[in-house]
Structure 1
Amino acid sequence: MPAPLRITSEKFGALPIVNHFLARLRLLARLSRGLPSTEAALTFEKVLGVLLRNLILDRGPIYGTEAWVLPFSPDLLDLTPEEVRLLNDDRGGRALEALFDADRASLLTSVLIDAIEEFGLDLSELHNDSTSVTFTGAYPEANGGLLRGKLTIALRRSAQNKDHRPDLKQLVWILTVTADGAVPIHYKVDDGNTEDSTTHRETWDTLKVLTGTSDFLYVADCKLCTTGAMTYIHEQKGRFLTVLPETRKEEGAFRAWVQEHAPAWQELPLTDGETAHGESLPRWKTTEAPERSREGFRIVWVWGAGKERRDQLTRAELVRKAMRNLEALDKRLQNPRCKIRTRDGVVEAAEKARG
């Protein structure tokens, strides 16, 4: 008599796509060679492979890894059914400790070189930014000292916490991506009280080594706009693009100049995508400032149609709000019980209503 049929349901999700790119990067093979060996029934690289896929697809907690894995076909996670049953948070922790003990710098460099060669990444323009990652808890070992021969990151409190939680500890996460598809090619984690503007020299030096040239365009926000950072990159024959902070005198000088002069705006041509969507009017214009920065660098001012529309809407709303406030003040002044009795009091109230 034939055995009864059983229906087994297994989940695929986006794992085949993730596995395709992991294979092209040869990432798991790199982990296998870079991690210390173990006699455990489940190798470190297999556990880290599961954690990595979870991070990409779900970002679930380590203690929930076993439950997350169960619906999937085991072979999609490079596991056997027996190995699935071995997964738990203890194994996840030990695998992460093995990764901490490994030569992560060399591992990351080899993965990056593979990615550049495999996908033909364009490294002529690189974009850098940083943010803070906030933690709750004590984390006494994350003090900037050595742990098992490895330097740790110091979790610090900072008044500039970007989550607006200066009471909590944080670290500073610095990431550089390509303009070609926003592919990450370099990251660094710094102590929580690190000032963003101080990180650019080291980052640029690293990128110079990775690209093998200084002739790439380094793009970053206004934290790059310091005399030290810009001059350093220029002296190394590098190129950069940054934003001029409003606190710089050059910003006020241009605003004063434009009151009495007509800038020679140059329209930027529409992109193919903008033309395809029926755009006909220019969205961007640029003009070079009449004077360079105090360091001698060019300053280019940019006009954007979108910002102009937003500014017009903002001004219109401010006018409407002022009119409503002034009408309310007028009714208030008509009331015999109004306490505003003097001309100066009326002027002060009107100024406050105008906003």
Structure 2
Amino acid sequence: MANDVNNNVETKPIGFAPILQHYFHKCCIVDIIDQNVPLDARRKMLTHGQASIAMITAILFQVMSLYKVCKFARESNVLDVIFPDISPDEYFDDRLGDTLDAIHKFGIGNLELLITRHIIEAFEIQTEICHNDTTCAQVYGENNKNRSEQSIKISYGYSKQYRKDLKQLVWSMTASSDSSFPLFQQTYSGNTADVETYVEQWHHLIDLLGKKNFLFAGDSKVATHGNMAHINDHGGYFLSPLPMYASYQEALFKALDKHDHETLIPYKDQMNRGFEVPLTFEHENKSYTFRMIILFDQGLFYRRKKSLLERITKTQVAFDELAQKINAYKLKTKDSIEQACQAILKKHKTQAFFDFVVHNDPVVTYKNARPGRPAKNAEKIAVYQDHFSIELNYNESACTKAQYQIGYYPLVTNKPASGFSIEDAMLAHKNQYKVEHLYKRSKSGYNLEPIYLQTPDRIEAYLFLFKIALQILVLMERTARIKIAERDKGLDNFMPNKRDVRNPKTENMLAMFEFVVCGVILLHDGSRQYFVSKLTETQKDILSILDVPEKCYTHQYLFDTS
């Protein structure tokens, strides 16, 4: 029996490479890049489209450094599956860097339009509502080498991760409400304010989608007079929460005091409500009137109420502790005590619910009028020493009124009510999280930060490829959930102790193929037998909902070029 054992078996992992190959082919990424980005005649083996796919694949396998792609290609058959005729040694970092330079030189925005338009048509992505947001990406070291006047500048700026010690760039992305599919991305210099990016992104979306009647949804920084006026004057629609500036806050409170009815809105087993009033402002000698939609959210109300009551309790505790410390050290004067009281109210943001009075009840003591041993019936004089106390007054009516208001938040839009109800506005705003989840996916799941590339042009091109990687992930997730809905049956044996999983994440589906390998067996007669791991029933089911044929996991399909 021992002589029948064959130890001449070589295997290499391929993981989910056949699935990627199927989606790359359907998205026509290689063809579009190669048809538009000119290739240096000295490059014989690897086109720009193939190099781009190699970097996108490396991103999805969390190989983020260009110099590691060669090692990744040698140690697995992943890139060999996608490009069987290319040697692993062709994916060296200088060659990949050349592709990044060529993409930037051709125009990242031009390739964005060509590739994304094709994907939108191929997968029938819905683009009626587009969500935009920005984030900052941190970098290490010197990253402004070979920078031209048109390049972004890696610099210090407002860090959303509170890393003021690191330089950064600003990354803006727009996603469709349809499965949060990434539509367009652009990088900006590290000190660019978010408010300056929205109008430009809106114009890019018009070029991409070929229309203006989509709804552009963003955060509160969209709601500047200039942004709203520009989009409205050029025939577009926007939706944004209103920032709580004094003028907007006054308009909100005035509307809450005067409104007499609200529309009930069912949402996630609870009942929200809302109403709307006109919002008018002046900009560049022109008057604008938009819809201010004021919504009440049950979950928001309970969270804010809990926070408010906690702040009130903390304020009272802080004043009790302060009362034990006055009349000593630095709290011996009325001014110093009042400053300490104001600091407490400011810290807990409870100025509207409390006022205080600092009382002074001097303590009188007597001492001899003259120094030395006192004589009998010696004259004495009174000495007055300040003794302060704090009287804290709680305004219960103000707190009650605040609790009535805290569940409401205002949105502003210029889309007419005839085709965009209050409920539509609420649902569109609540889907704003989708683009935020793309950033979370980028930074936590795929280790976007820190960026180690040293030239701004290459960083911009690399983030463009990173967005394509996100598009592939979303397409897989979207396809799977559509197929599950069509067959009305989810995945079994997919998550621990769960059956009929109907909302699988791409990362979890691809992880099921982690240990799939291809290999070769050297037989005793000198011949070779090639094979690919036999798929489990769960893996076959995943391929079915991803719309990937099972033959993609056969050796003949992957490697037989005859």
Q: Give the TM-score of the pair, scaled to structure 2.
A: 0.52
Question: Residues of 1 paired with 2:201 and 2:128: CA distance?
Answer: 16
RMSD: 3.3
Q: CA deviation at 1:70?
A: 3.6
Of residues 166, 172, 182, the one that matches 2:180 is 182
2:155 matches 1:153:
no
Aligned match of 1:33:
35
Question: Residues of 2 paired with 1:178 and 1:157: CA distance?
Answer: 30
Judge which range, 294-303 or 38-47, deviates more: 38-47
2:67 matches 1:63:
yes
SS, match of residue 156 in structure 1: coil
Q: CA deviation at 1:29?
A: 1.9
Call closer, same or farther: CA 1:323–1:214 in 2, change over 3 Å.
same
CA contact 1:144–1:191 (8 Å) conserved in 2: no
CA contact 1:143–1:155 (8 Å) conserved in 2: no
CA contact 1:250–1:293 (8 Å) conserved in 2: no
CA contact 2:278–2:291 (8 Å) conserved in 1: no
Aligned match of 1:299:
292
Call closer, same or farther: CA 1:107–1:180 in 2, change over 3 Å.
same
Question: Residues of 2 paired with 1:96 and 1:18: CA distance?
Answer: 21
Question: Residues of 1 paired with 2:275 and 2:235: CA distance?
Answer: 25
Call closer, same or farther: CA 1:5–1:269 in 2, change over 3 Å.
same
Residues 187-206 of structure 1: pairs in structure 2 closer than 5 A? 187-206=185-204
Structure 2: unaligned runs, 5 residues or longer? 283-287, 326-330, 334-357, 361-387, 394-562
Question: Residues of 2 paired with 1:233 and 1:194: CA distance?
Answer: 20
1:185-205 Cα offsets, whole Å, 9 max, x none, are 222222333332222222222
Aligned match of 2:309:
316
2:70 matches 1:77:
no
1:250-306 Cα offsets, whole Å, 9 max, x none, are 222322553x44552212133xxx3xxxx2x31x32111365455311111111111
Aligned match of 1:110:
114
Question: Residues of 2 paired with 1:116 and 1:44: CA distance?
Answer: 23
Of residues 237, 252, 255, the one that matches 1:239 is 237
Question: Residues of 2 paired with 1:322 and 1:166: CA distance?
Answer: 31
Q: Which AA in structure 2 matches 1:187?
A: Q
Q: Which AA in structure 1 matches 2:123?
A: F
Aligned match of 1:48:
52
Judge which range, 122-131 or 196-205, deviates more: 196-205
Q: Which AA in structure 1 matches 2:82?
A: L
2:291 matches 1:289:
no
Aligned match of 2:135:
131
Question: Residues of 1 paired with 2:77 and 2:184: CA distance?
Answer: 33
Question: Residues of 2 paired with 1:34 and 1:6: CA distance?
Answer: 46
Number of residue equivalences: 331
CA contact 2:175–2:182 (8 Å) conserved in 1: yes
Q: Which AA in structure 2 matches 1:58?
A: Q
Of residues 205, 208, 211, the one that matches 1:213 is 211
Q: CA deviation at 1:108?
A: 2.4
Residues 15-26 of structure 1: pairs in structure 2 closer than 5 A? 15-26=17-28
Q: Give the TM-score of the pair, scaled to structure 1.
A: 0.80
Larger radius of gyration: 2
Q: CA deviation at 1:179?
A: 1.1
Question: Residues of 1 paired with 2:34 and 2:304: CA distance?
Answer: 55
Higher strand share: 2
SS, match of residue 8 in structure 1: strand
Question: Residues of 1 paired with 2:120 and 2:300: CA distance?
Answer: 36
1:216-241 Cα offsets, whole Å, 9 max, x none, are 11111122112222112111221110
Aligned match of 2:170:
172
CA contact 1:293–1:299 (8 Å) conserved in 2: no
Q: Which AA in structure 2 matches 1:306?
A: G
SS, match of residue 296 in structure 2: strand
1:129-153 Cα offsets, whole Å, 9 max, x none, are 12222323233446452xxxxx322
Call closer, same or farther: CA 1:118–1:314 in 2, change over 3 Å.
same
Q: CA deviation at 1:19?
A: 2.6
CA contact 2:117–2:209 (8 Å) conserved in 1: no
SS, match of residue 192 in structure 1: coil
Q: Which AA in structure 1 matches 2:113?
A: T
SS, match of residue 87 in structure 2: helix
Question: Residues of 2 paired with 1:13 and 1:263: CA distance?
Answer: 61
CA contact 2:278–2:290 (8 Å) conserved in 1: no
2:261 matches 1:264:
yes
Instruction: With a CA cutoff of 8 Å and minimum separation of 6, indicate the structure with the bigger relative contact order.
Output: 2
Q: CA deviation at 1:327?
A: 6.1
SS, match of residue 97 in structure 1: helix
Q: CA deviation at 1:5?
A: 4.4
Query: What's the % identity of the aligned pairs?
Result: 22
Question: Residues of 2 paired with 1:304 and 1:167: CA distance?
Answer: 38
Q: CA deviation at 1:20?
A: 2.5
Question: Residues of 2 paired with 1:230 and 1:103: CA distance?
Answer: 29
Question: Residues of 2 paired with 1:2 and 1:254: CA distance?
Answer: 83
Q: Which AA in structure 1 matches 2:297?
A: G
Judge which range, 58-67 or 46-55, deviates more: 58-67
1:151-186 Cα offsets, whole Å, 9 max, x none, are 32222333x233334454332222111111111222
Q: CA deviation at 1:244?
A: 0.8
